[in-house]
Amino acid sequence: MEIKLKNLLLALLFVGALIIHNEKLYSNESEETVIEPDEIIVTSSFIEQNLSDLDDPIHVIDGEDTIFDTTVSLGESLDNLLGVQSSDFGSAVGHPIIRGLSGNRVRIMNNGKTLRDVSTIGDDHMNEVDLNDIQQIEIVRGPSSLLYSSGTVGGIVNIIDNTIAREDFKEPKLNIGLESQSVNDGEAGSFSYQNNLGGFNISLAYKDSQFDNYDIPNGAIIHTEDEHHDEDEHHDEEEHHDEDEHHDEDEHEMEIDYFNKDYSETSFAVNFSRDVNDNFTVSLGLARVERAPSAVELFMNGAHLVTGRFEVGNTDLESETANNVDLNIFYQNNNFSLRGNIFKNDIDNYIYLQDETEEEHEEHEEHDDHGGLILANFLQKDAELEGYEFEISQIFTFDRGNLSLSLGRDSVTGEFKNGMNIPRIVPARNIITVSYSEDNLVARLTYKDVEEQNDIGEGETATEAYEMLDFSLRKTFVLNNQNKISLSLFGKNLLDEVARNHASFVKNEVPLPGRNYGLKLNYKF
């Protein structure tokens, strides 16, 4: 009987965790080695605090340890973190989805300041965030996000790159990066420089990325019976029957409707925490958040070619009101840790984009009402999202380095109060990570088991389960006290799985990239 890889890995890790945490191994008579983590400073609030002093579920990720590939999107770079997934619009375009919420419900910040770029218009637009020289990324999920940014329903992603210096640069820093990868014949080059000249902190940065369409596994393209096999028929037909008709027609006077409507965004949050003992901590977060509809949700009325839809806004939309409850637990005993949380988010007037049915689309096609695009309307209904995140981890110490094992699972469900499913809700996942570090060497293997998603909304298609195996290796060569050369190798989707992102509007047409190998070289002076 064939045993699937995911079942074997899950079984091994569960058994290993139970053995590791056996009380016999942690008896008072045994000699224990405790790893003291480096001090981590949280900068989201612009008030420097130790992470251990905070009750909020803040995740701080070292940019150098996490992002090996500078050509990925912000969402993809965080996709292995529990509770965080990514939307997808092809190569390098993807936004974080936190606990099933995305778009304007997730606040993207740079050095504590909210980004005001075109990504706020739609998920198909890139964030103006350079992933090349990031110091750290801070992620806040759930009610605690309100402590750092008002009106945030889902969470916050804060990118720290020290472009805005919090203190004077003490010495010049030069970073040169080169990258190459196989899946899209991609190449990237970057340059950054920091120095204090005449009392002025100066930061310079440059990046250039070039890549073709990415490769996908064989069999990933879906062909339909109604595809036209004779393209010449279309080209031979007269494309413009009477262009003059458009120009000679009398111009219609446009009727302008002035929009005037008041919206409120009153929000509050409170957090309670208690140390049960030296090893166990419990916290409870409560929040009520209001979010006014965006300009796109209100006024959009036209073709959105990237999503393949003719989107129609709704000026009758009311503000969303989210009531969020978040229960967190954390347990640590020496090198063993367990953390978990459950959450529930009741959202009144939840705003979503509803696709028309196949029957409605066929009717529109006959009349060519929307240029063959799917008609999608912005609607709102009362909704409820609930889910959990759970992770166990163990660190092994050796003479030369540390081996870390972790097993995590996250899940979120979303339904309207009438019992129908919210469209484009991310599926549940199991994530296994094995990492090894010693001196200037870091290696990481991540296995991600993404389950099928059959809880679909109206007009939506289901997605199959898939497995994703990624590997990364970084070796740093210290030339002297200041100069470093880092060589990074990465491999993604090593199993060459056919994978489709359920949260993507174009999942049926655009699968995720196939097997990808890459090399990155960084020089720091």
Query: Contact 481/511 with Cβ under 8 angstroms?
Result: no
Query: In Å, what is the CA distance from 202 to each residue of 5, 192, 197?
Result: 51, 11, 7
For 38-49, how does the pLDDT look when each residue is reduced to its tens digit (9 = 90+)?
434 444 443 344
For 102-113, how does the pLDDT look when each residue is reduced to its tens digit (9 = 90+)?
887 888 887 777
- Cα-Cα-Cα-Cα dihedral of 61, 62, 64, 69, to 10°? 10
For 112-139, how does the pLDDT look when each residue is reduced to its tens digit (9 = 90+)?
777 666 566 666 666 666 666 677 788 8
What pLDDT score was predicted for residue 497?
93
What pLDDT score was predicted for residue 204?
77
Question: In angstroms, rounded to a whole number, what is the distance separating the alpha carbons of residues 201 and 65?
Answer: 26
Looking at 28-32, 262-266, 440-444, 446-450, which range is the least confident one?
A: 28-32
What pLDDT score was predicted for residue 232?
46
Per-residue pLDDT band for 66 (boundaries 50, 70, 90) equals low
For 406-454, how does the pLDDT look when each residue is reduced to its tens digit (9 = 90+)?
999 999 999 999 999 999 999 999 999 999 999 889 999 999 999 999 9
Closest listed residue to residue 453, CA positions, set 442, 465, 445, 441: 465
Residue with tokens 């612009």: 46
Question: In angstroms, rounded to a whole number, what is the distance separating the alpha carbons of residues 470 and 475?
Answer: 17
Question: In angstroms, rounded to a whole number, what is the distance separating the alpha carbons of residues 95 and 102?
Answer: 8
Query: Contact 86/96 with Cβ under 8 angstroms?
Result: yes
**Containing H/E element for 10?**
helix 5-20
Question: In angstroms, rounded to a whole number, what is the distance separating the alpha carbons of residues 479 and 453?
Answer: 50
What pLDDT score was predicted for residue 245?
46
Rounded mean pLDDT, 54-79 = 64
DSSP lists the bridge partners of residue 484 as: 478, 524
Query: In Å, what is the CA distance from 24 to each residue of 32, 197, 395?
Result: 12, 60, 17
Please determine, for residue 383, whether its predicted confidence score (pLDDT) is greater than 60: yes
Per-residue pLDDT band for 21 (boundaries 50, 70, 90) equals very low
Longest Cα–Cα distance of the chain, Å, equals 94
What does CATH list as the number for 40-220+261-524?
2.40.170
Query: Contact 378/313 with Cβ under 8 angstroms?
Result: yes
Per-residue pLDDT band for 279 (boundaries 50, 70, 90) equals very high
Query: Contact 38/65 with Cβ under 8 angstroms?
Result: no
Strand 84-86 vs strand 96-98: parallel, antiparallel, or unpaired? antiparallel
Please determine, for residue 11, whether its predicted confidence score (pLDDT) is greater than 70: no
Mean pLDDT highest for which of 179-188, 216-225, 490-499?
A: 490-499
Question: In this structure, what are the phi and psi dihedrals at residue 90, rounded to the nearest 5 degrees?
Answer: 90, -165
Query: Contact 347/153 with Cβ under 8 angstroms?
Result: yes
As given in the structure block, the two tokens for residue 379 are 């609607």
Closest listed residue to residue 377, CA positions, set 362, 358, 356: 356
Looking at 254-263, 297-306, 349-358, which range is the least confident one?
A: 254-263
Query: Contact 201/165 with Cβ under 8 angstroms?
Result: yes
Please determine, for residue 84, whether its predicted confidence score (pLDDT) is greater than 60: yes
Query: Contact 254/260 with Cβ under 8 angstroms?
Result: no
As given in the structure block, the two tokens for residue 80 are 């292995």
**Containing H/E element for 48?**
none
Question: In angstroms, rounded to a whole number, what is the distance separating the alpha carbons of residues 72 and 393?
Answer: 27
Rounded mean pLDDT, 220-230 = 51
Residue with tokens 């062909």: 223
What pLDDT score was predicted for residue 132?
64
Closest listed residue to residue 350, CA positions, set 300, 297, 411, 287: 297
For 359-370, how does the pLDDT look when each residue is reduced to its tens digit (9 = 90+)?
777 777 666 677
Please determine, for residue 238, whether its predicted confidence score (pLDDT) is greater than 50: no
Rounded mean pLDDT, 486-511 = 89
Query: In Å, what is the CA distance from 495 to each residue of 6, 169, 373, 432?
Result: 12, 44, 34, 15
Query: Contact 56/144 with Cβ under 8 angstroms?
Result: yes
As given in the structure block, the two tokens for residue 487 are 């060589």
For the chain, how far is it from start to end, CA to CA, in angstroms?
Answer: 55
Domain boundaries, the chain: 40-220+261-524
Question: In this structure, what are the phi and psi dihedrals at residue 12, rounded to the nearest 5 degrees?
Answer: -60, -45
User: What secondary structure letter does DSSP report for 410?
Assistant: E
What pLDDT score was predicted for residue 121?
61
Question: In angstroms, rounded to a whole number, what is the distance separating the alpha carbons of residues 126 and 274?
Answer: 40
In 10-152, beta strands by DSSP E: 41-42, 49-50, 58-62, 84-86, 96-98, 106-110, 113-114, 136-141
**Containing H/E element for 415?**
strand 402-416
Query: Radius of gyration (Cα) for the chain, nearest Å?
Result: 25
Please determine, for residue 378, whether its predicted confidence score (pLDDT) is greater than 70: yes
Averaged pLDDT score across all residues of the chain: 76
What pLDDT score was predicted for residue 128?
65
What pLDDT score was predicted for residue 163?
65
Query: In Å, what is the CA distance from 394 to each residue of 8, 60, 475, 477, 497?
Result: 19, 19, 23, 28, 29
Rounded mean pLDDT, 476-483 = 81
What pLDDT score was predicted for residue 227?
45
Query: What does 459-506 look like in DSSP terms, one character per residue?
Result: T---B--EEEEEEEEEEEEE-SSS-EEEEEEEEE-TT------TT-TT
What pLDDT score was predicted for residue 483?
81
Rounded mean pLDDT, 146-175 = 73
What pLDDT score was predicted for residue 257?
57
The more confident residue out of 227 and 516 is 516
What share of residues in the chain are helix, strand, coil (percent, to 5)?
Answer: 15, 40, 45
Closest listed residue to residue 45, CA positions, set 117, 106, 125, 109: 109
